[in-house]
Structure 1
Amino acid sequence: MGGSSSTGWGKTKGSSPRAMTPVEEVDISAVRYKPPTLQAPHLTGFSLRAFLWLMESPLLGPLITSVLKSQNNMPQMLQQTVIPERPMYYPEYPPQDLEPGVVLVGEDRHPVERVHEALQYLPPYDPSVRWATEEKLPFLYWKIRDFAHAYRSGITTPSVVAEHVIAGVEEWNNKKPPMPMLIYFNADDLRRQAEASTKRFEQGNPMSILDGIFVAIKDDIDCFPYPTKGATTFFDQIHTVEKDAVCVARLRKCGVIFIGKANMHELGLGVTGNNPNYGTARNPHSVDRYTGGSSSGPAALVSSGLCSVAIGTDGGGSVRIPSALCGIVGFKTTYGRTDMTGVLCDAGTVEVASPLASSVEDAMLVYSAIAGSRPMDKLTLRPSPLCVPNLLSPDNNNILGSVKIGKYTEWFHDVSDREISSTCEDALKLLCSTFGCQIEEIILPELEEMRTAHVVSIGSESFCDLNPHYKAGRRTEFTLDTRTSLALFGSFSSTDYVASQCIRRRIMHYHMEAFKKVDVIATPTTGMTAPKIPPSALKSGESDYVVSAYLMRFIIAGNLLGLPAITVPVGHDKQGLPIGLQLIGRPWGEASLLRVAAAVEDLCLKKRNRPAAFYDILKA
């Protein structure tokens, strides 16, 4: 099994079941990486429909799911092995020291105050550089501070920009093929929000640096008065939106203008972004390819220039994967760092709401607005104080120079094309040669067990949430690939779930041991660049677990263990498709991640290209 070795298993006698060696006794130095061998059919169209019929058959379904799980060693891991560790039902972290060179922003303060505090520690804003002639522009995207300058200096108004956004959305929807980035869009409501923001600027009283900034909200997050469908055809009929989700409410207090509800993989149960219900969002860098998912619409909107920031959810790489494939920044926070009230999956143990942004700077500002744990999480998770990096500190370069970056080389290079890992490696070498930081070799055992524990955890939690609707006759209203996933998830037993939580504790131990040696762990964000959209998948969906495994290869620790992680664009492959570098941090270590990510972004800026499908809403 991937990432395992004989050192992780105890001796057995006769017909006794296998037993894992207690995690503290595992000889990590003896672990040898073994690439995973995932087996599952690639299905679209009629073949997907036929396979689903078999999966949902009372007689044949249990047999098929049993064979699929056996082919992927799941019964062997979860039911035929003695795991000595007790379960960890949600992430548990040892106490963390305060990060160096950070500023406390105080999570109990008003969002406007937190954003203003974070703003003070960004590098100085120079409008003469940012507003140079087109030929001299040293950047790809307009940032939040560019919009703020444009509004305050009278270059434009939120109302004018709103018309450009409306025109851009209509243009994308009318393209051949269409690029449906939004599930719910109300041009009149957008104009009303923009008019209110414009008046605040005319009166010299903007609410914050985020006033007039256009933000899209993924369709599994409540944003009143818009419906929340989770990209299904029916969920808004059984889920009434009465108020904003907490993360949305915090942005609204800062004057943000909400574009609408962004497209996504139905109910977040996929990582390509395929959606037959509303159309599949397409990658602005190559419209015949997926954006990645499940936050497909948010990534496409930011990548195409229609907004600087969007809010997505990340339960299995769903912010980081589409951000990497679309060439933008995706910032997943520590589990529990943000209040998930008002998000469809708010009871899960792997998912967080997080920003997708055109730049690290914008991700930091929006993070400052939305962060803040719910009261129960403060009691159970004991979060460290909410911080941002002081990027103006004279010690900033010295702090960067002291950073130790963990790299599990064999895993790092387990990608579909070595160009991906080589590009990420070049970015790390550039970071080290510029600032003097060091790369340390690490080993992370039981990676395949981690993948299995994650799919059982997120699958069981998703099935539990959806089972009442599934049993109430709504099953046929889900898309075919959602039903295929639910048929598999519904086959997981209580034994599988508890064993997966025991594995979660083991994997946490290995990562906390690694963080005794290093400050961040670096990997490619995805094991492949944006996959092509099969034409046969547009009408009825697609099930391709091999592609999903490549896309999810490096992201699972962020979810199963709740660790903060960020993806930064570092270049493109030969086909011009974006490549992302992922940085994984210690629990509650968002500020350190933002510091390193900002440095990587700056060093790799010249290696990034604007997407082919781009709309300049400030100069339209």
Structure 2
Amino acid sequence: MKKLVFGNVLKKMVKMRVLVPAEDVDLSTVKYEPEAIQAPHLMGSVFKLFVRIVESRVLGSLIVSYLKKQNKMVEMLRNTVIPEAPMFKPEFPPQEPEHGVVVLKEFGKPEDRVESALKCLPHYDPASHGNMEPASSFRYWKIRDYAHAYRSGLVTPSMVAEYIIPVIEEFSSKKPPTPLLISFDAEEVRKQAAASTQRFEEGKPLSILDGIFMAIKDDIDCFPHPSKGASTWMHEFRSVNKDSVSVSKLRSCGVILLGKANMHEFGMGTTGNNPNYGTTRNPHAPERYTGGSSSGPAAIVASGLCSAALGTDGGGSIRIPSSLCGVVGLKSTYGRTDMKGSLCGKGTVEIVGPIATTVEDVMLVYAAILGSSPADRISLKPSEPCLPILSSNDSLNALGSLRLGKYTAWFNDVNSTDISDKCEDILDLLSKTHGCEMMEIVIPELNEMRTAHLVSIGSEMLSSVNPYCDEGKGVRFNYDTRTSMALFRSFTATDYVAAQCFRRRLMYHHMEIFKKVDVIVTPTTGMTAPIIPPSALQLGETDMQVTGDLMRFIIAANYLGLPAISVPVGYDKQGLPIGLQLIGRPWGEASLLRVAFAIEELCAKSRKKPATFYDVLKAI
């Protein structure tokens, strides 16, 4: 009796919340709760002062505790009894094979996989695509356009290099600087281009990717460039002696590696703001952010200078900038790509993935870089990688049988109805054109998932950089990074375990949803590209409301390891790009690429030329 009384008193004291097991949640009682973030928007000298206060031992601890309480973080984690056991990295049940696909040899040569991917694409007609004449509506030059131009002798990789090099240098020399790349060696690029040009002259290109220019995000190793994570000091402690696994695969296909692309410092932000080197601008509106953290990769692709780029995605860092810049970004299943040679290669939420102007170019790059690490092959037991066959009528049949799930209340939680209306219109057109079935779904505990993801990615990031902070380098972080680090340091072992318990709950909910639908559809972001405050360029800024709007729909793919893709579907009233996100079941990249390709075709005529655009093949 005394035990019971004491337990009830303790429960009331801490306002304990006890969850029922995930399988017992009554979905009919789930009500969508819009995210309400309580945090100040700071920049300039006020922001600088705030960071110094929040890093102080006593007052800083009180401020962080207050903000966590205001955002119900303590309530969700420490004061909640979660019946599920922790899931410390994504665990997937066995998945049914996808239909209408080609299986790729994961352990084969990257160039052989690229050749298999090429055969999946629709027929390429040089008369309509590769004649170097302007199209009736805007479109980007694709990888196959470059390949045709090289093979026809119309241009050479060296000619393309000589056009691109001065443009890259110009971005870095602007006042203030707006660099696309933060590590660039013109002579190294010329050397790669000359080797590729010689291969074409000898009739021995390595693959369809030979001579294709790509940028690599600055948290992925690409020899001989340092990997700084867009900081000013990481390269002083971590040398780069060889390519990362993904970059090595691209190099074997003949890709010309242009340099290391700008990013939000250490990936700890969603806008792409970087006081260290300068903030990359959105090609559609230079006064606006690109989105982050893969800001440079998305911008250089959207500007037309590169056909594709490699980014990393631990919290929407490929999909957010792809959406804001009007290009395509693929986040594959956790473990589908080998993270060796990435600054954040030991985490449980991040992948390396492609950004490109079109779905078919994403497919070609994805085919080159895929392949699980030896450890992930043992623990995750991945399904065989495959790609959709887009070159036959069977593809239309496979597309028509797909079921798309939409949680309407969540879908409509955007700061402009331009976003939800445009995404809704495209989905309606997709259903009418191809017969895809739309189904209403419910996803419980979305706010808990956001908090649990923050604890997971924050703890993993802190673990990665802590050794360097102990060396006194913490003060060399940007102010927004230091703000994030102050929050991350407040997380306890209890918080981390609770977050992993939520991972098992949310995995259950999503696997139940995927018994009914093949793809979950959402807008990619809850807002279009935000304006860059001029006072934020020198010292950065913290704006958690913008972060919340940008990250609203992207968390599940990282936290649960699910594949997802952002595809451009139109523009808001200001002419800013809008992206639609497709989230798939584990190892379901082929279905996502199939749907994304169909959507891209439906939107092709409405695509607009960015304000900053370089028509490379036409200009040479």
Q: Please classify the TM superposition score into its range, dividing by the shorter chain length.
A: over 0.9
* Residue 438 of structure 1: how far off its partner (Å): 1.0
1:291-318 residue CA offsets vs partner (Å, 9 max, x unmatched): 0000000000000001010000000000
Distance, in Å, in 2 between the alignment partners of 1:365 and 1:251 is 10
1:250 counterpart letter in structure 2: K
Instruction: Indicate the residue corresponding to 1:613 in structure 2.
Output: 612
* Residue 178 of structure 1: how far off its partner (Å): 3.9
The SS at the match of 1:224 is coil
Distance, in Å, in 2 between the alignment partners of 1:334 and 1:91 is 10
The SS at the match of 1:40 is coil
Instruction: Indicate the residue corresponding to 2:539 in structure 1.
Output: 540
* Residue 399 of structure 1: how far off its partner (Å): 1.0
The SS at the match of 2:393 is coil
1:263-312 residue CA offsets vs partner (Å, 9 max, x unmatched): 00000000100000000000000000000000000000000001010000
* Range 418-427 or range 168-177, more displaced: 168-177
1:206-229 residue CA offsets vs partner (Å, 9 max, x unmatched): 000000000000000000111111
**Structural mapping, 1:406-485, within 5 Å:** 406-485=405-484
* Residue 171 of structure 1: how far off its partner (Å): 3.3
**Structural mapping, 1:517-528, within 5 Å:** 517-528=516-527
* Cα distance change on mapping 1:229 and 1:40 into 2, 3 Å: same
* Residue 403 of structure 1: how far off its partner (Å): 0.8
2:167 counterpart letter in structure 1: G
Indicate conservation of the 8 Å contact 2:130/2:148, yes or no. Answer: no
**Structural mapping, 1:484-523, within 5 Å:** 484-523=483-522
Indicate conservation of the 8 Å contact 1:130/1:138, yes or no. Answer: no
1:36 aligns with 2:72: no
Indicate conservation of the 8 Å contact 1:198/1:212, yes or no. Answer: yes
Indicate conservation of the 8 Å contact 1:168/1:615, yes or no. Answer: no
* Residue 50 of structure 1: how far off its partner (Å): 1.1
**Structural mapping, 1:531-570, within 5 Å:** 531-570=530-569
Distance, in Å, in 1 between the alignment partners of 2:43 and 2:184 is 29
2:498 counterpart letter in structure 1: A
Distance, in Å, in 2 between the alignment partners of 1:34 and 1:488 is 24
The SS at the match of 2:287 is strand
Structure 1: gaps spanning 5 or more residues: 1-11
**Structural mapping, 1:13-28, within 5 Å:** 13=8, 15-16=10-11, 17-28=16-27
Distance, in Å, in 2 between the alignment partners of 1:387 and 1:467 is 38
Distance, in Å, in 2 between the alignment partners of 1:136 and 1:492 is 54
* Cα distance change on mapping 1:218 and 1:197 into 2, 3 Å: same
* Residue 393 of structure 1: how far off its partner (Å): 2.9
Distance, in Å, in 2 between the alignment partners of 1:321 and 1:62 is 31
The SS at the match of 2:582 is strand
Q: Percent identity among equivalent residues?
A: 62
Indicate conservation of the 8 Å contact 1:106/1:114, yes or no. Answer: yes
Indicate conservation of the 8 Å contact 2:403/2:436, yes or no. Answer: yes
The SS at the match of 1:349 is coil
TM-score by length of 1: 0.97
Distance, in Å, in 2 between the alignment partners of 1:473 and 1:490 is 16
Instruction: Indicate the residue corresponding to 1:361 in structure 2.
Output: 360
Distance, in Å, in 1 between the alignment partners of 2:266 and 2:199 is 37
Instruction: Indicate the residue corresponding to 2:83 in structure 1.
Output: 84
State the Cα RMSD in Å. 1.1
Indicate conservation of the 8 Å contact 2:176/2:278, yes or no. Answer: no
Indicate conservation of the 8 Å contact 2:404/2:518, yes or no. Answer: yes
Distance, in Å, in 2 between the alignment partners of 1:448 and 1:14 is 28
The SS at the match of 1:58 is coil
Distance, in Å, in 2 between the alignment partners of 1:467 and 1:14 is 40
Instruction: Indicate the residue corresponding to 1:232 in structure 2.
Output: 231
Distance, in Å, in 1 between the alignment partners of 2:454 and 2:368 is 31
**Structural mapping, 1:134-149, within 5 Å:** 134-149=133-148
Indicate conservation of the 8 Å contact 2:138/2:609, yes or no. Answer: no
* Cα distance change on mapping 1:52 and 1:295 into 2, 3 Å: same
Indicate conservation of the 8 Å contact 1:131/1:137, yes or no. Answer: no
2:590 counterpart letter in structure 1: A
Indicate conservation of the 8 Å contact 2:273/2:280, yes or no. Answer: yes
Instruction: Indicate the residue corresponding to 2:92 in structure 1.
Output: 93
* Range 510-519 or range 12-21, more displaced: 12-21
Distance, in Å, in 2 between the alignment partners of 1:507 and 1:417 is 28
1:593 aligns with 2:587: no
1:171 aligns with 2:164: no
The SS at the match of 1:533 is coil
Number of residue pairs matched by the alignment? 609
Distance, in Å, in 2 between the alignment partners of 1:131 and 1:466 is 47
Instruction: Indicate the residue corresponding to 1:7 in structure 2.
Output: none
2:400 counterpart letter in structure 1: G
Distance, in Å, in 2 between the alignment partners of 1:575 and 1:512 is 38
* Residue 406 of structure 1: how far off its partner (Å): 0.3
TM-score by length of 2: 0.97
**Structural mapping, 1:160-309, within 5 Å:** 160-175=159-174, 178-309=177-308
